[in-house]
Each structure stands twice: as C-alpha cells, then as structure tokens.
Amino acid sequence: MLGLGNSIINGDVSGGFSTPADLPGIIHWWKHNTGIEESDESHPEDGEEVTKWADQIGSEHFLGAEDGSNLPAYTSATGTLNFGAADFLTIASGVGADITLDGDFAVYVRIKFGQAPSTSDVFYKDSDSSNNFLRVQNATTLRAKVTSNSLNFTVPTMGTSDFYNIGIERVSSVIHAYLDGTESSTGGLTPTLADWKIDTLKGAKLDEFSTMIIVKGSNLSTDDRAALQTYLAAL
C-alpha cells in the first residue's frame, strides 16, 4: 500500500491552502460577498448602500460614516461593493487608529475598474496622511506611497473588462507589486518608512471591489502566492 505524506481533510490536503484563512500571518480578510450589511444589518439587495463589511479574521470591520453619507453600493451580479468618487468605509477602531503594517507584510485586493484606470483610483489609504496609500497611476502603473517615496510599479495594461488581483508585499524592507500573480517588471523598491498605515477603504472610483486580504509579519511563499492567485481568480 502506498503511504501518503499528507491526509485529506475537508477536501483539501492538510497543511495546504483552501482559502486565504490558511495563509501564514493573515490578520484581516474582507471576503467576497460575505459579511456585507446594509443599515438594518441584513445582506443588501442590488444597488442598496453598504454600511458594514465584516472582517472574517480579525475585528477591523469596515464601517460607513455615522451620518450615512458617502456609502458604497452593493452590486448583486458580482457580489461586490461599488464605490462612487466620494464613497469610503473606515475601520472599526476608528480613523487615526490605523492598521499599522511594520516589518514584512502583504496586502491583496481584487477589483474591476469602472472607467479607464487613473489617479482617481485609490484603493485604500491612511486618512491622516497623504503619504500612505495604494492607487493606480495610469493603466500600466501602480503607485504605492510610503512617506515621501512614490513607488511606481510597471504592470501589463489594465482595462475595464476584467477583474484584477493586485498585491503589494514587503520583504526585508523591499516592496514588490504583483498583478494577477506576476511581479511587476520594475522589481523591488525600497522606501524610507518602516510602517505603512491603513484606515480607509476607498475602493477606487466607480469600481467594483471584491475582496481584501492582509498578511503581517510573514512572507508569502511562491506556492502561497500561486494558491492565492488561483483562489482569487475563481471568485
């Protein structure tokens, strides 16, 4: 009889990857079409405003403004949040508290652009500073701003027809960008700041936001990254 090095548990190889929850160091996961609420705490119907997106790993739920203004809308056909130009959600601990990413980290989002990618497409940021964000610079450039450093990463042309999986990773002070599992041709860049801070989800302008994943204090292996790409691409 052949001996198996791994056992099968719940349809997956034990110790392997079945969802982002299996990633080493994962601290936050805003899951596709999960934990999304309107004001009465029910799952929204198409076009209804979203007041909460629950964190499936931690407790940093993304919440709408208390006055109910500038809320993204739910898109039922894709199970996503649709952000207008002024729409945003903030973390539950409050603006200024921040998710602080020091050391090694990885942040991944899945998004579909509602218009030609431009500088208006800010995915997430620190509302207290103009120096912490991830956005699109143009259709072939991602910009990660860390303190005074604008880190520009060249990627294949992005359009409005497809969802994209966009990742920013820091390994030993060097930041790398990934589009659909492939590293930017720019390679790694080194900023001057030790920490990156996030408290606001902008979701970009007129775009559909599907999921967001944050890993802290751990590096994604080549296998982790490939598995995560496969998972995201299937959403």
Has residue 99 been placed in a domain?
Answer: yes
Has residue 15 been placed in a domain?
Answer: no
3-state secondary structure (DSSP) of residue 3: coil
pLDDT for the residue 191: 85
Quote the CA–CA distance of 104 and 173 in Å, as a whole number: 7
More confident residue, 126 or 9: 126
Has residue 2 been placed in a domain?
Answer: no
Has residue 37 been placed in a domain?
Answer: yes
| pTM for this entry | 0.91
Sheet architecture: strand order including 52-53: 36-37, 52-53, 62-63, 89-91, 200-201, 122-125, 132-138, 141-146, 149-154
| DSSP state letter for 226 | H
**CB 91 within 8 Å of CB 62:** yes
Has residue 223 been placed in a domain?
Answer: yes
Looking at the chain, the whole-number percentage of residues with pLDDT higher than 70 is 92
Q: Over the stretch 47-90, which tens digit does the pLDDT of each residue have?
A: 999 999 999 999 999 999 999 999 999 999 999 999 998 999 99
For the chain, the domain total comes to 1
CATH label of the domain that carries residue 102: 2.60.120.200
Has residue 102 been placed in a domain?
Answer: yes
Phi-psi region of 47 (alpha: psi -120 to 50; beta: other; left: phi over 0): left
More confident residue, 96 or 19: 19
Quote the CA–CA distance of 184 and 222 in Å, as a whole number: 15
Has residue 9 been placed in a domain?
Answer: no
Quote the CA–CA distance of 103 and 61 in Å, as a whole number: 23
The vertex-14 CA angle with 34 and 212, nearest 5°, equals 30
- Which residues form the domain of 39? 24-233
Has residue 126 been placed in a domain?
Answer: yes
